[in-house]
Structure 1
Amino acid sequence: MTTLYLFVFAQSHDEFRLPELSSVAELNGIPYTLPLKPEDRDPTRPFMVIGLGKEDHAQILARRCILIKFVSVYEFYGQGSTYEELHAANRASRPLWEKFIPDTSFRFLVTSYNHKIPQSRQREVIESFSYMDFLGPINMKNPDITCAVLEEYFDTRGTTRSKHQGDGNFRQVFFGRLIEEGTARNLIVKFDVKKRSYFGNTSMESEISLLMANQTLASPGKIVYDPFMGTGSMAYPTAYFGALVYGSDIDGRQMRGKDKKSPGVIRAATQYGVASRIVDLCTFDVTHNPWRCGELFDAIVTDPPYGVRAGAKRLGRKRELSDRQRQLCEEHRMNPSSDDQPYIPPTRPYELSHLAADLVLLARYLLRPGGRLVFFLPTVTDEYEEVDIYTMLCEGMEVIANSLQDFGSWGRRLVTIRKTTSEKYPSPTFEPIHEPKVDHVPAHKDFREKYFQGFKPKEERGASKDSSTTPV
């Protein structure tokens, strides 16, 4: 039997809300149903009534979903556009609350979204529920049950109003019994980058890294890989949820930091009590990786560099050596000098659309069937089309979530791709690098150049490029 529960969501990262809920529900084997009407499952609204089989399921979701607010999950008794409608719905739900009538201590809360209700009207609202005839004592500090009235008002940000202007002109009013206070949002403070013992200029903010960890279905017994580890922002929440983490990066200095005694990533992991779950950290280029067998990982989670704060690199030379340079290199290799410094291999830029496509190929090889690839992809807002995400896909991989974090002229999309095949694939060669022959050019192609050109229209970028190459 399905019971309805009222969830109150934090008003941040609206598009991430349902994918996170779906992931946490899948992780815990929780079936659920969403409202039928599109307006009732609008992700920009704070309240949503969700059908679940058990009260325990609602508690599990509240304890793991980062986007569920603190005082947040209620057994749903009714809603309405007026209090008359609400009371009618609540009377119809009497079988749910009549067991609390005889001897249960209780309290009532009246609160709202986008509005402050005057105390005088709060008392009127509470008194309007007198027909429930609760006989137990009122206890405002530690009651057996808390009944809450929640009024939803339209967003009035950007307008100037008097203190209680518009009071009572709500969009909907909801009523229910509090069953769980969401605790997962406390982790945002726990993993705050500013309080971390080791971080860098590309470290991911804690709320986003926690959302990414939930998308991987991180839990005890899982093995998760970050191929662009950097300072380890995705490793800490993933390990905190119980997974074992393996990390690599083409530049080992990002993982090590300047302290020679202990790598920076390990120091930060120790701060969170998860150092034992960091399996290893290795320095290599993912296109020249050491993996000799596939299906090693349950998830791959990463924030690939896309050239704004740090550019993506891969092994190789920007320009091929001349015959004379090759000859000198060969002579030096045969007769090295005694004061030679350690060899640092040359690197070249790694264009974002190539990187994304290669990452999906690598994930298909390394993931176990059903495993997930979770990563951020920056896109130009005016140029983005839904098909952009599908230009990087390969056989056996499907997109299951695509959520936008909007920055105005550009945004970054948290993409979750699942491996749907059990067929074994060979290790990808990532060669040769060439422009794919496709009819559609995705908006994330050459993102770095577009970013530093201020996201000019295609025509202006083309004209600027032509003028810069015209001889004087």
Structure 2
Amino acid sequence: MITDYLFVFAQKHDEFRVPEVLSVAELYDIKIAFYGIPAELDVSRPFMVLGLESEEDAKKLARKCILIKSVHEFYGRGKTYEDLFAQTQQNGHRWAKYVQETSFKFKVEAYNHSIPQYRQKEVVESFAWMDFLGEINMRNPEITLCVFEECEDPDKHGTTRHKHEGDGSFVEIFFGRLIEEGSARKLVQTFDVKKRTYYGNTSMEAEISLLMANQTLASPGKLVYDPFIGTGSMAYTSAYFGAYVYGSDIDGRQMRGKDKTPGIMRAAAQYGVQQRIIDLCTFDVTRNPWRCGELFDAIVTDPPYGVRAGAKRLGRKNPLTRPSQQYATNRQDDQPYIPPTKPYELSALATDLVLLARHMLKPGGRLVFFLPTVTDEYAELDLQTLLCVGMEVIANSLQDFGSWGRRLITIKKTTSDKFPPPTFDTMPFIAATETSAHIPATETSAHIPATETSAHIPAHKDFREKYFQGFKKGEMTDILHVAGKHSPDVLRS
């Protein structure tokens, strides 16, 4: 039997809410009834009513989802208190059992406004018709009844707003019984980068790292790989959820730090998960040592996209150059050889990452990574340029920074077919009038013609150059010309 539950979310990362709930539900095999299509839900509001089979399922979600503040047994909703009371009366079979002897307390909370204390008392007293006969216990009640008032956001940025402005003008009011506080949110403070033993200027913030770990379905017995592990932010959270983690990076200095014990291992020990870090290796992911595929349950990473640290791969910027004869003859044997590297363009890196994931993931495994995009240029077709046969996008959440944003992409391996290791010899995008060799026709999405996908230039192409140019349209056009794209029509107004 499906019962309705009211979910109250933290007031941040709006687009991450539904993907996280769906991922955790898949992890625990929880069936969720959405009232509307999940992709079309208004995630800008912090309240959501979902149908679940049991109260225990609601508690599991609250204990694992980072963005859930609390979960409540749903009693009613309405644009006015009269509407709320009417629906609550219709759902009397849910709360009537608590009327006689159950100790209780009321909480009245608000979204987008502040409730004056005198009116909080009026709201509580307006529920007197429910005739609760139990003891009022403000410290340790058996049940807590919660009222949530949602007002419109006046969007008065840069102006002073009275703390009670908008009071009494509601978008909607919700009412229910508290089941579970969102205990997972405490982990945001636990993994706070500022409190970490080892971190760098590109370390991912704690809340996002936890969200990414949930997207991978990290849990005991799972094996997770980060091919651009850096200082290990995603490794700690994935390991905390019980997964075993393997990490690699082309630059071992980021993983090691300056102390004798590698920095990642020191930070992992801080969280008590050092035993779940299997190993850390230094190698170029395009020349990896893997001898077979289908090793990992998930791949999670934040690829470098050139804003604070550029992506590199082995090779020379000019393949015709060679080490000088003087260097070859005078080099001391005890000096380590540092191989030359060349830039790794983001669009090529992202495409290669998907191909690597298809080879290395077990069937049903997930690839979770961030993809930066230019806001005005982004189109859904951008993601299709990344995909290959057997890989499907199941979540796409935007963290908006204004003129640009980064998208948390979750791609699932939907095939059990065997594929050869990728060769990583992708070629750069060329003009839309030409035939692109970047994505073979057999590798494009089944839903979009190959010619359309191969001709499309995604918003993350040449992202680094666009970022440092300030995303100015005229300068971005020049960048595209320099890159070999002869038509400025690819820019979106």
Q: Which of residues 96, 99, 116 in structure 2 aligns to 1:98?
A: 96
Alignment-mate amino acid for residue 318 of structure 1:
K
Structure 1, unpaired ranges of 5+ = none
Amino acid at match of 1:351: E
Cα RMSD between the aligned structures? 2.2
CA contact (8 A) 2:240 2:273 kept: yes
> Structure 1, residues 402-436: CA drift from partner, whole Å, max 9, x if none?
11111111110000000000001111111254444
Query: C-alpha displacement at 1:327, in angstroms?
Result: 9.1
Partner of 1:291: 290
Q: Which amino acid aligns with 2:67?
A: L
What CA distance in whole angstroms lies between the structure 2 residues aligned with 1:304 and 1:163?
A: 43
Aligned partners of 2:312 and 2:344 also within 8 Å: yes
Taking a change above 3 Å as real, the CA distance of residues 390 and 178 of structure 1, as seen in their structure-2 partners, is same
- Please report how far the alpha carbon of residue 340 of structure 1 lies from its aligned counterpart in structure 2 after TM superposition: 5.6
1:269-313 CA distance string (max 9 Å, x none): 000000000000000000000000000000000000001100000
| Kept in 2: contact 1:105–1:143 (CA 8 A) | yes
Return the alpha-carbon distance in structure 2 between the equivalents of residues 163 and 188 of structure 1.
Answer: 28
Distance 2:274 2:253 in 1: 19
Deviations 1:440-463 (A, max 9, x none): 111101111111111121x43344
Among residues 457, 463, 481, which one is paired with 1:441 in the alignment?
457
Size of the aligned set, in residue pairs, is: 460
Match of 2:203 in 1: 203
Q: What residue is the counterpart of 2:422 in the other structure?
A: 428
Deviation track 1:138-159 (CA, whole Å, cap 9, x = no partner) reads 1111000111111111113425
**8 Å contact 1:40–1:48 — kept in the other structure?**
no
Question: What code does the residue aligned with 1:48 have?
Answer: M
Q: TM-score, normalised by structure 2?
A: 0.89
Matching residue of 1:347: 341
2:440 aligned partner: none
Distance change (3 Å), C-alpha of 1:163 and 1:345? closer
- Structure 2 residue 455 is matched with structure 1 residue 455: no
Unaligned runs of 5+ in 2: 430-435, 438-453, 485-493
Write the deviation string for residues 201-253 of structure 1: whole angstroms up to 9, x where unpaired: 10000010100000000000000000001000100000000000000000000
Tell me by how many angstroms 1:162 deviates: 3.0
Q: 1:264 to 1:116 in 2, by over 3 A?
A: same
Q: TM-score, normalised by structure 1?
A: 0.93
Which of residues 80, 83, 86 is equivalent to 2:81? Answer: 83
Structure 1 residues 109 and 254, CA gap change in structure 2 (3 angstroms): same
Query: In 1, Cα distance between the equivalents of 2:311 and 2:375?
Result: 21
Tell whether the 8 Å contact from 1:76 to 1:175 is kept in structure 2 after alignment. Answer: yes
* Alpha-carbon distance in structure 1 between the residues aligned to 2:472 and 2:239: 41
Residues 1:119 and 1:276: Cα distance change in structure 2 (over 3 Å): same
Aligned to 1:376: 370
Deviation at 1:466, TM superposition (A): 7.2
> Which residue of 2 is the match for residue 238 of structure 1?
238
State whether residues 152 and 173 of structure 1, in contact with CA within 8 Å, keep that contact through their aligned partners in structure 2: yes
| Residue 463 to residue 282, structure 1, CA distance change in 2 (3 Å) | closer
The answer to whether the Cα contact below 8 Å between 1:150 and 1:173 also exists between their aligned partners in 2 is: yes
Change (3 A) 1:255 1:5: same
SS in 1 for 2:50: strand
Identity of aligned residues (%): 68
Amino acid at match of 1:461: M
